[in-house]
Amino acid sequence: MIVVATNLTYFLAWGFLDPRNNYVGRRPPLSEDQVVQLLQPRNLSDTVSLLERWWNWFSGVIFRWDWGVSPVGQSVNDQVAYRMWVSAELVLGATILATVLGIALGVYTASRQYKIADRIGQATSIITMNINIVVAALGIVLLAIGFNNMVGTTVFFVTGSASPDVTGFFPIIIDALQHLILPTVALVIIGYAGTHFLQRSLLLDNINADYVRTARAKGLTKGQAIRKHALRTSLIPVATQVAFTIPTVFMGAILTESIFGWNGMGRYFLETIAKNDIHGTVAIAAFGAVLTAIGALLADIAVVVLDPRVRVS
């Protein structure tokens, strides 16, 4: 599936992006031959037939794990290898935080169904879930700038993923956190509510089940019974859902990264399309497909860990 999808993207990308356009309007204008000479060694020239270009690219990927080069000659492998971790820093942290917060809120509100805390939690979540990520991120930027001005020093950085001139172990960590905190908060704000609603409704289905009553009858407190018995059952679908949202969070990070100026995969995505970088675009598509597959795998693992009825053979 991944292979087919990636190859399809390769052909689609050729349909919509033309590296030749990068040389239109250059001063002094490049002649036809010069353009071909620039593009041909990079396997991006449309003088070669599409099938041959495809085979050059595909065989490079299969035999040498070489994903090609951009129209200016940068290796796609290098770009992805570096940017992947920048994005992962953001996406992983945000996913974990959003999941923990969502589950905690779900448990808290489900055990207080229709009380004031539940109503407030529900109302907040339905609003935050439907705030657009762009609005949330920019709102946070405004708040952070206001806070920085109030305190008088730069506590939160609103652009970039790290400052270039920081040395030493602890300063680097603190610097990274100062950059990381705002985009993570933006992603968490819009991401936690989905988990919250799912966890709440699933736990409500389980909270009045017979086995929870049995646990209570054996002398567990309500909190213990919920945590040890009801929660475990209702966590299974939540884990599945969270694992499958990883690609979605990643795509949400495109907007966050471009707002906060992070040089991650999201930024790369925008650049490749703007610069007609076909190989880069295809690599991102493959990366997205791999993430989906990893998500599916993680979902299966989570089910095996949580559900004692599922045995791995």
Partner 1 sequence: MPRNSIQPAVGPETTAIRLPRKRMSKWELYSRRFRRNRPAVAGLVIFAVLVLFAVVAPLLARYDHIELDFLNLGEPPSGEHWLGTTSAGNDTFAQVAIGLQRSLMIAVAVSVGTTVISAVVGTAAAYFSGMFERLTLLLIHFLMVVPTFLLLAMFSNDSGGDWRTISLIMILIGWFFPARVIWTMALSLREREYVHAARYMGVPGMKIVLRHMLPNIGSLLVINFTLGVVAAVMIETGLSFLGFGVKIPDVSLGSLIGSGANTITSAPWLFYFPAAALTLLTVSMALVADGLRDAFDPTSAAGGRA
Tell me the C-alpha to C-alpha distance, in Å, between residue 154 and each of 146, 149, 187. Answer: 10, 8, 22
Binder among 96, 100, 120, 127 for partner 1 (CB under 8 A): 127
Nearer Cβ to partner 1 (98/285): 285
Q: Does 126 bind partner 1 (CB under 8 A)?
A: yes
* Contact window for partner 1 (CB under 8 A) among 77-85, 125-133, 159-167, 302-310: 125-133
Q: Does residue number 50 form part of the binding site for partner 1 (CB under 8 A)?
A: no
163: contact with partner 1 by CB under 8 A: no
3-state secondary structure of 106: helix
Separation of alpha carbons 243 and 174, rounded Å: 29
Per-residue tokens: 162:
């790290």
Q: Please give the residues from 241 up to 260 whose contact with partner 1 meets the rule CB under 8 A.
A: 247, 251, 254-255, 258-259
Tell me the three state secondary structure of residue 264: coil
Rounded to the nearest 5 degrees, what angle is found at the Cα of 189, between the Cα atoms of 187 and 193? 110
Q: Give the contacts of 104 (CB within 8 A, at least 6 positions apart).
A: none
Q: Which stretch in 58-66, 84-92, 221-229, 286-294 sits in contact with partner 1 by CB under 8 A?
A: 286-294
Cβ-based burial of 309 (10 A; exposed 0-12, middle 13-18, buried ≥19): exposed
Asked if 141 is part of the footprint of partner 1 (rule: CB under 8 A), the reply reads yes
Q: In the complex with partner 1, which residue's Cβ is closer, 5 or 220?
A: 5
Selected range binding partner 1 among 30-38, 100-108, 281-289, 304-312, rule: CB under 8 A? 281-289
Residue 280 to residue 63: CA distance in whole angstroms: 18
List of residues contacting partner 1 (CB under 8 A): 1-2, 4-5, 8-9, 12-13, 16-17, 114, 123, 126-127, 129-135, 138-139, 141-142, 145, 247, 251, 254-255, 258-259, 269-270, 273, 281, 284-285, 288-289, 292-293
